[in-house]
Structure 1
Amino acid sequence: MNETTRPTSSESTAAPAPDASGTLDEALERLHSFGPERDGWLSNHAPMAVEALVRHGQAPGVHRWIDHYRAKLEDMPDRFAEVTPDNWREALGDPRRIADWAVYFERETAERPWRDVLAEWWPRLLPGIAGGATHPVIRVGHSVRTLLAAEESGPRVGELAHALGYWAARHEPLPPLTPLAPVPDAGDALAAVARVPDRSGGIRSRLDQLTGFPQWPGAPLSDAREARDRLAELVRAATHRYAEYGHGEPIMLVHAATAPNAVLRTLPALPPELWAPSVAAAWAASAAVTAAYTPAEAVAPPAGYAAPITADEVFARAAAHGDDHTIKFTDTALDIGDATALAAALRSVELNPPAF
């Protein structure tokens, strides 16, 4: 892609104004009667998408968006068996207990500060970061961003409880992985990830085929600040990569960027000693999605593909397009904010089927 034809923005890294309309709280209350999945295991993206829409100035259209998305929502499943401090290990990774886990975390966040609950459960959940096709950790990332950016409210803390509960129910570690040769650069590391050989099944069958990843970062992290910087590097590399590889699996490949970005958004709420293991887990998630869905060949957008455009205009296009994955990926691209990231967001608008 020619540099002069990439979108540009000088405002893309500015923090949007907090939601003064109450729309997000209304939307979350509306959504919490529904389960986190449909059709067995497909994820409910609505809480994540509406958070991104509100954050980027699209609050007036949120309830209309939910009205369109309503056909993809199912009621919260029935309770199965109560999760307690004594039996949580046996309940971890049991999708029959999705509702039980939600109730457990609702109770925990009602009795203790949400940051304490998050810090206790983050290291327990990290090994299963790829569970639910990485959607649970992405949902946690959207929730934590909101809690850090504005005054806490019942629906926002409740959203964190539902997100953590979904992660606990879908917790599924990757198979044992052999550490391969270290690669210091995140973009080069993603390029070195081997594609899984059998691509005929869904994500769970593909992840079962993983055997090893390049070691990234190539050296131990020196401190928490370096962990944050390297994680930001990974998010940028995965976002940029979508511009040329997104055509392979336009929906699934967005998670190679949005999953590590969810971890990056959560870091400020975590104790610094959890930052380095968070980078390792984020790399595993991004590499796993890359291995499962990257096409054999890159396809560069044609010269002149994207005229200069602002970040706000890019997000407005994603919102009008309406697809949940496109909205969330564009939200991540705006966190990066550079020309290639915005071009990748426009590529997702082009590649994914519109919702409206």
Structure 2
Amino acid sequence: MDDFDHTADTTGVLDEALERLHAAGPERQGWLSNHAPMAVEALVRHGHAPRVHRWIDAYRDKLEDMPAPYARVTPENWREALGDPARIADWADHFERETAERPWRDVLAEWWPRLLPGIAGGATHPVIRVGHAVRTLLTSEETAPRVTELAHALGYWAARHQPLPPLTDLGAAPTAAAALDAVPAVPDQSAGIRHRLAQLSALPRWGADGMEPETARDRLAELVTAATHRYATHAHGEPVMLVHAATAPNAVLRTLPALPRALWAPSVGAAWAASGAVTAAYTPPGPAPYTAGQEAGAPTAEEVFERAAAHGDDHVIKFADTALDVGDPVALTAALRAVELIDREDG
């Protein structure tokens, strides 16, 4: 994983963008996610800071004000507030207070195991937003807007926390790619993700608690690579939603360095559950081979991200960001597939 491009943000564009966005809530129309904080972080990271404010201007119609608060989240009542989307503002306020009073790493370490079982909530967008926020804090200056961004991301996750239903174990898969191939599609794929996830009943077993932290990190990287590669041949099932089969586990992978090592192995199982669940919800009946981008003279990583940034869709940008983390020709092909298949208005 590459380091933050400090030269790309010499004018403080990321902080300016986050300050603009923090008046908005994490959703619109009651359930659609606000992708702007994640997309602008990726744009700045890859040297596209000059695009950011114009990008937000174009995205402005998809932003809604932060909802009104309901009741303060406290150490005594947080369990009853967990998973209540009506408490989005309450949770954001809670984590703003928490990160103002103690180091953000301590807050993250306390809440990560509490939030991890609900990783699929909000169609995995909350954990993805956390991953972008943590990456910035780990690799660049720790400014107030960047800490606030982590607070809002954690608050969104807490409000949308949604455990998956009990799942039957379909047996162990030898690799992440084999595990994804063995995921059975949910029966009814005619509605939104909440309806689809409610039908999830079984997944192959891949990754397990008890592994050494370094092994856990390697397993997560394997899963991110497998899901990114699979997008190149299976994205036609649902180009927007299948992005998250790769970006959700990558968010977990990005967060590991900020967590106590004892939390690394449990994170693998949750990341697999999220990736497997999205795959089950949207996987097509079969692959559609796609080789463009692998020919001689194929675009470089920088050229691929330039195409994603020029396209402008938030999912395209975030998926290209993950594909560049993987970095191989198949991953870059997958990013080009997203550019091809996702309409600019889909996000």
TM-score, normalization by structure 1: 0.94
Are 1:269 and 2:258 counterparts? Answer: yes
Are 1:351 and 2:341 counterparts? Answer: yes
Asked if the contact 2:70–2:87 (Cα under 8 Å) also holds between the matched residues in 1, the reply is yes
Asked if the contact 2:231–2:242 (Cα under 8 Å) also holds between the matched residues in 1, the reply is yes
Sort the Cα spacing of 1:191 and 1:92 in 2 relative to 1 into closer, same or farther, 3 A. same
Q: Shift in Å at residue 201 of structure 1?
A: 1.0
Are 1:111 and 2:101 counterparts? Answer: yes
Matching of residues 247-262 of structure 1 within 5 Å: 247-262=236-251
Q: Shift in Å at residue 304 of structure 1?
A: 6.9
Distance 1:184 1:116 in 2: 35
Q: Shift in Å at residue 20 of structure 1?
A: 2.2
Asked if the contact 1:321–1:355 (Cα under 8 Å) also holds between the matched residues in 2, the reply is no
In the other structure, the counterpart of 2:5 is 17
Q: Shift in Å at residue 42 of structure 1?
A: 0.2
Distance 1:333 1:175 in 2: 30
Aligned partner of 1:76 among 46, 49, 66? 66
Aligned partner of 2:43 among 38, 53, 62? 53
Distance 1:17 1:54 in 2: 8
In the other structure, the counterpart of 1:4 is none
How many residue pairs get aligned? The number is 343
Secondary structure of 1:331's aligned partner:
helix
Asked if the contact 1:245–1:298 (Cα under 8 Å) also holds between the matched residues in 2, the reply is yes
Matching of residues 1-356 of structure 1 within 5 Å: 14-18=2-6, 19-217=9-207, 221-301=210-290, 307-354=297-344
Name structure 1 gaps, 5 residues minimum.
Answer: 1-12
Q: Shift in Å at residue 221 of structure 1?
A: 4.8
Name structure 2 gaps, 5 residues minimum.
Answer: none
Secondary structure of 1:181's aligned partner:
strand
Secondary structure of 2:237's aligned partner:
coil
Sort the Cα spacing of 1:335 and 1:305 in 2 relative to 1 into closer, same or farther, 3 A. closer
What are the superposed Cα offsets for residues 98-125 of structure 1, whole Å, 9 maximum, x if unpaired?
Answer: 0000000000000000000000000000
Sort the Cα spacing of 1:55 and 1:303 in 2 relative to 1 into closer, same or farther, 3 A. closer
Distance 2:293 2:186 in 1: 34
The AA in structure 2 aligned to 1:17 is D
Distance 1:14 1:83 in 2: 37
Distance 1:267 1:302 in 2: 33
Sort the Cα spacing of 1:106 and 1:308 in 2 relative to 1 into closer, same or farther, 3 A. same
Asked if the contact 2:73–2:90 (Cα under 8 Å) also holds between the matched residues in 1, the reply is yes
Percent identity of paired positions between Structure 1 and Structure 2: 73
Q: Shift in Å at residue 289 of structure 1?
A: 0.1
Distance 1:27 1:39 in 2: 22
Query: Highest relative contact order (Cα 8 Å, sep 6+), 1 or 2?
Result: 1
Q: Shift in Å at residue 305 of structure 1?
A: 7.1
What are the superposed Cα offsets for residues 167-213 of structure 1, whole Å, 9 maximum, x if unpaired?
Answer: 00000100001122101200000000000011111100100111111
Moved more, 302-311 or 338-347: 302-311
Asked if the contact 1:16–1:57 (Cα under 8 Å) also holds between the matched residues in 2, the reply is no
Aligned-residue Cα RMSD (Å) equals 1.3
The AA in structure 2 aligned to 1:72 is K
In the other structure, the counterpart of 1:10 is none
Distance 1:106 1:220 in 2: 31
Secondary structure of 1:246's aligned partner:
helix
Distance 2:96 2:79 in 1: 18
The AA in structure 1 aligned to 2:268 is V
Q: Shift in Å at residue 222 of structure 1?
A: 3.0
The AA in structure 1 aligned to 2:272 is W
The AA in structure 2 aligned to 1:196 is V
Q: Shift in Å at residue 16 of structure 1?
A: 4.3
Sort the Cα spacing of 1:184 and 1:38 in 2 relative to 1 into closer, same or farther, 3 A. same
Asked if the contact 2:3–2:139 (Cα under 8 Å) also holds between the matched residues in 1, the reply is no
Asked if the contact 1:34–1:74 (Cα under 8 Å) also holds between the matched residues in 2, the reply is yes
Moved more, 307-316 or 232-241: 307-316
In the other structure, the counterpart of 1:5 is none
